[in-house]
Amino acid sequence: LEQVEELAAAIDAEQGDPYPGKELFLARCAACHKLFQDGGAIGPDLTYYQREDTENLALAILRPSAEIREGFENTLIRTKDGRAINGFLAEQNNQSVALRGVDGATTVVPRDHIAQLQVLGRSLMPSGLLDDLDHQAIRDLFAYLRSVQPLNN
């Protein structure tokens, strides 16, 4: 919590520039997350989330497993033939369970082939995404993340 508060204070201490922040987002976040029209569909689409709260945004980035959005829980299936399948629970019913992997592909496993189904309680998003950035770069990234509309390039 102290680290989150320190980061939030550094972010709010000076103005960031959303244009270089967008480039950082595209390089570090867009493989998994979408913001406005840019990005992937592995993690949550950030466009409609409350992004103006600096502390909550900092916590989500610094400690991705602190709060995992519904539908993005990391789930592990161990099959009776020894395979391990990891991903997000895409769908389940009485006959099968479907997991969406980080590659975007969905794997359907019949329930009678499942030895273990476990929600792991940790995010697939890695920690340390901001570790090599200076305060200005972090302010720029957050300026873009808190943008209320797409940037005109």
- Give pTM, 2 decimals: 0.82
Q: Which amino acid is at 98?
A: A
Distance between CA 142 and CA 80 in Å, rounded? 45
Q: What is the pLDDT of residue 70?
A: 81
Per the CB < 8 A criterion, the answer to whether 26 and 38 are in contact is: yes
- pLDDT tens-place string over residues 138-150: 999 999 999 999 9
Most confident of 79-83, 89-93, 100-104, 120-124: 79-83
- pLDDT tens-place string over residues 47-95: 998 899 899 999 999 999 888 888 788 999 999 999 999 998 989 999 9
Q: What is the pLDDT of residue 81?
A: 97
Question: Long-range contacts: 80-88, Cβ < 8 Å, 24+?
Answer: 80/113, 80/114, 80/115, 81/113, 85/109, 88/124
Per the CB < 8 A criterion, the answer to whether 138 and 11 are in contact is: yes
